[in-house]
Structures are given as C-alpha cells and as structure tokens.
Amino acid sequence: MDRRIPHQSGLRLVQRVMARHLLAGLTVVSLMTGTAFAAPRPVVVALFTSQGCSDCPPADALLRHVKATDPDILALDLHVTYWDNSAWKDPFSLPAATDLQDHYASLRGSKEVYTPEAVVDGKAQFVGSDKATMAAAISRARAAIAGSDTTQVSVKALNGQVSVHVGPGTGIAAVWLFGFDPERTTKVRGGENGGATLPEVNVVRSITRLGAWDGQPWEREMRAPAGTKYAALVQRSDGTIVGAAEN
C-alpha cells in the first residue's frame, strides 16, 4: 500500500500535467480558429438602474462594456420604479424589478436599496459603476461556476411563443423568464427633443416567474412576454443561480 500511493500520486500528477497541456493546446487551437469553448453557463450580471438617476449612466456604460467584451456574460438592465413620480415615469421601469432588488437587499439583511446597484450571479452586491469590483465579482462567479454542478437551461423563442427547458439537477429553485431589448437609446426626461440621450443594453421589459423546479427535467412554453430576446434563470431562494441561458 505504502509503495502504491506514491505510484498513484505520480500517475495523477502525470494526468494533471497532461490535462493542463491538453487544455492549453485546445485554448491555442480555439484562439487560432476563432472558436470558443462554451462555459458551463454565463455569469449573470444584473444592474438595477433608472433613467431618472443621474448617477446611473456610468453603471449603464459599464454594463455595456462588460457585455461587449465578455461573451460569457448574461447582462440584465433592470429599471426600478422608485424614481417614478406623478410627473414622470421611466418607460422601462418594472415593479417586478423593484421587488427583485428588495429581495436581494433582504439577502444581505437590509431594507435599503439604491441605484445603481449591480448583483453578480445572484450573490455579489455593489455599486454598479465600480469597475474593479465588477471585474473581481465576475472572476469569482466564473470560478464558482467552474467548481460546481450546473443545470442545463435552454430558452427558445419562435412564432410568438417562448419555451424554456431545464435539465436535471439537485435541490429546488425558481425558474424566471426575463424578456429584454438588446439595445435601447432613450432621451432623458428634459430632452425628449434636444437633450441628452442614454444608450443602454439588455433593457429588461418583462419579468415572469415560470414556476418551481425540483431537480427533475422541466419544460414550459408560453406566449412571449414583452421583449425581443429572452433569458431564463434557475435561482434558489438564497440567490444562488444553478442555471442560466439566453436565446
């Protein structure tokens, strides 16, 4: 036994070294051919924002940058309602977005919300314009995804219908559908006819709770809610995302 342990360890070391070389080789090939090996799932970056928030444009720009430079990001630009008043309303504000932010606040034991707030992969919560924290949070989320089981999720939209499929897994979670517009450029309140404009990406237009998932393969088809693209999240009540995909 004593002599076999070093032998086994040596084999494992060789296997690990070979695996690393293989991975490195594949990476080189992928770079050369322009193809990428898909990550188990994208990192979900949610931004709570409002067109009525003067501190939000830098966060909107950061979300736009993250989405443009990282193909494995699922960006969700969520407009909250507490900036709306009787005289003005953010055209993209959704009560469900405010509810979702309240839920995230409760996860950190608080009732206080703010804009711009980013939530990376359902866990890290921070000021949405903070570039360094955003980069670190995405890296941590990516490492966590690589080290955990991921439930396969797919979402398809066809002929006015959206279908979501969730593969097998463990535990229970909720399945959410987000309808969004990949690009929206809007005029700010005072400038509908000559003022500043706000370009935003993945502006969420609808949020639908499709139901509960208990680890068994799950499928749902529904009439397409607002939005030109769709993302499905499978998320536990503590914020943990076990699966995510967009069409």
Counting every residue written for the chain, the total comes to 247
Q: Is 190 in the site for other proteins (CB under 8 A)?
A: yes
User: What is the rounded CA–CA span in Å between residue 139 and residue 88?
Assistant: 38
Q: Is 227 in the site for other proteins (CB under 8 A)?
A: no
Q: Which of 207, 218, 209, 225 is nearest to 161 (CA)?
A: 225
CA–CA distance from 7 to each of 1, 14, 17, 133, 144 (Å)?
10, 11, 15, 44, 31
Which amino acid is located at 209 in the chain? R
Indicate the helix (H) or strand (E) that contains 141.
helix 131-146
Given 1, 112, 132, 223, the residue binding other proteins (CB under 8 A): 112
Where does this chain touch other proteins (CB under 8 A) — which range of 63-71, 139-147, 156-164, 190-198? 190-198
Q: Please, which residue, 129 or 202, has the CB nearer to other proteins?
A: 129
Q: Is 129 in the site for other proteins (CB under 8 A)?
A: yes
Min dist CB 53 to other proteins, Å, is: 5
Q: Please, which residue, 2 or 112, has the CB nearer to other proteins?
A: 112
User: What is the rounded CA–CA span in Å between residue 206 and residue 225?
Assistant: 6
Q: Is 72 in the site for other proteins (CB under 8 A)?
A: no
- The DSSP output letter for 217 is -
Whether the Cβ atoms of residue 24 and residue 93 lie closer than 8 Å to each other: no
Q: Is 51 in the site for other proteins (CB under 8 A)?
A: yes
Min dist CB 102 to other proteins, Å, is: 11
Min dist CB 114 to other proteins, Å, is: 5
Q: Is 92 in the site for other proteins (CB under 8 A)?
A: no
Q: Give me the residues that bind other proteins (CB under 8 A), please.
A: 51-58, 82-85, 88, 112-117, 127, 129, 188-196
